[in-house]
A = this chain, B = another copy of it.
Amino acid sequence: MGNIFADRMSTVHKSFIREILKVTEDPEIISFAGGLPNPASFPVKAVSDAAIKVLKESGESALQYSTTEGHYPLRQYISERYAKKGVEVTPENIMIISGSQQGLDLIAKIMIDKGDKILVERPTYLAALQSFGMFQPEFRSVTLNEDGVDTAMLEKELNENRIKLFYSVPNFQNPTGITYSRQKREEVARIMQSHDTIFVEDNPYGEIRFMGEDQPSMKTYLKEKTILLGSFSKIVSPGMRLGWICAEKDIMDKLVTAKQASDLHTNYFTQRVVYQYLIDNDVESHIQMIRGLYKKQRDCMVSMIEKYFPGDVKITRPEGGMFIWATLPEGISSMELFDIAIKEKVAFVPGRAFFADGTGDNTMRLNYSSSSEDRIEEGVKRLGLSIERLLAN
């Protein structure tokens, strides 16, 4: 057969992380490579109770086709939760989607023509590069500093290019764990005010803040031009693939059309179960429990890094989320480190995958949410040893 595939498939590759995860299936390897929530945080029994109740009380409707926008009471629940955080939206501004990841696909579908310029952080969420990449934009990137994006660079990009959207994870970013300061948010808003560019605020980890203060959503500054993405993956269950997208009406109309063409609607049974779970349980104390869990794991990893890593390796100290970002001395390759580390039975994700421009060779992502404190200590120790070995060469 000739080449039957679309042009876009020649530039998109399977996830690099996915390939790495295969290497780390060996149970002897301590893996900081994945991005899995701690399963101890899953409310298994409460979800089971919710499922029983939904099927008993309205089984036939819960198993039937439903609307593209999603279960109305669930959309209402989400909008009320936003209101408490100062984000004024109605249930009509919210659509339930198959994980917030699907939001990236839908946004790309309605906004990106081949060659359109879009802006991402440097580094950025890998799967966003994949989702957006399917629609063949030109990726441009702005450096992420410790308190958020480099605003001078952002302003220059916006002034010199017609940028369709700026994709950002302002809270506990994957991969870096970095959070935008309030001042940075205000600066970004001021700069974006005078441009048509859409701000895509992806916020899967926002609820998992275990220190510091909540910062306002960019939608409180840029109401009309912000699209929010949210997720139940980190507070209920990632396997259920339940997230939402929040946008103003003109954008939402297009998103609904795209969602319908993608998969008609999100799993309705699961929407009903999660809604039932949310109203029948004390969600705030559940989230509080997860925060405690992750804080312990994060604190453990930070202190072990301080103990076992050479002093010239820099790390971020996240106030929430699931990841720490490490930067090796200039010229040292984390890909080379990966090979050494695997022999020492410890794994991580080399940072290069997270850079749209192919840089970042001396960086790495470490996940702490899916390892016990014992394993974190032992793993960081092995990794420190591997770094020293590489530096000695």
Contacts A44-B59, A62-B239, A270-B267 given; does A5 touch B133 at CB 8 Å: no
- Write the nearest CB–CB distance from A263 to chain B, whole angstroms: 4
Query: When the two chains form their complex, are residues B240 and A265 in contact, meaning their CB atoms are under 8 A apart?
Result: no
- Write the nearest CB–CB distance from A212 to chain B, whole angstroms: 27
Interface residues of A in 208-262 (CB under 8 A from B): 224-225, 233, 236-242, 251, 253-254, 256-258, 260-262
Chain A 5-28 against B: per-residue CB contact (8 Å), 1 yes, 0 no?
Answer: 111110011110010000000000
Query: When the two chains form their complex, are residues B63 and A240 in contact, meaning their CB atoms are under 8 A apart?
Result: yes
* Chain B contacts for A65, CB-based, 8 A: 36-37, 233, 238-239
* Chain B contacts for A105, CB-based, 8 A: 261-263
* Chain B contacts for A241, CB-based, 8 A: 98, 263-268
Query: When the two chains form their complex, are residues A267 and B48 in contact, meaning their CB atoms are under 8 A apart?
Result: no
The closest CB in chain B to the CB of A51 belongs to B51
- Write the nearest CB–CB distance from A3 to chain B, whole angstroms: 9
Query: What would 15 more interface pairs be, CB under 8 Å, given A12-B258, A65-B238, A127-B261?
Result: A2-B196, A4-B111, A6-B135, A9-B254, A14-B253, A14-B260, A15-B260, A37-B65, A40-B60, A44-B59, A51-B55, A97-B263, A105-B261, A109-B134, A241-B267
Interface residues of A (CB under 8 A from B): 1-2, 4-9, 12-15, 18, 36-37, 39-40, 42, 44-45, 47-48, 51-52, 55-56, 59-66, 68, 97-99, 101-102, 105, 109-113, 116, 127, 130-131, 133-135, 164, 196, 198, 224-225, 233, 236-242, 251, 253-254, 256-258, 260-270
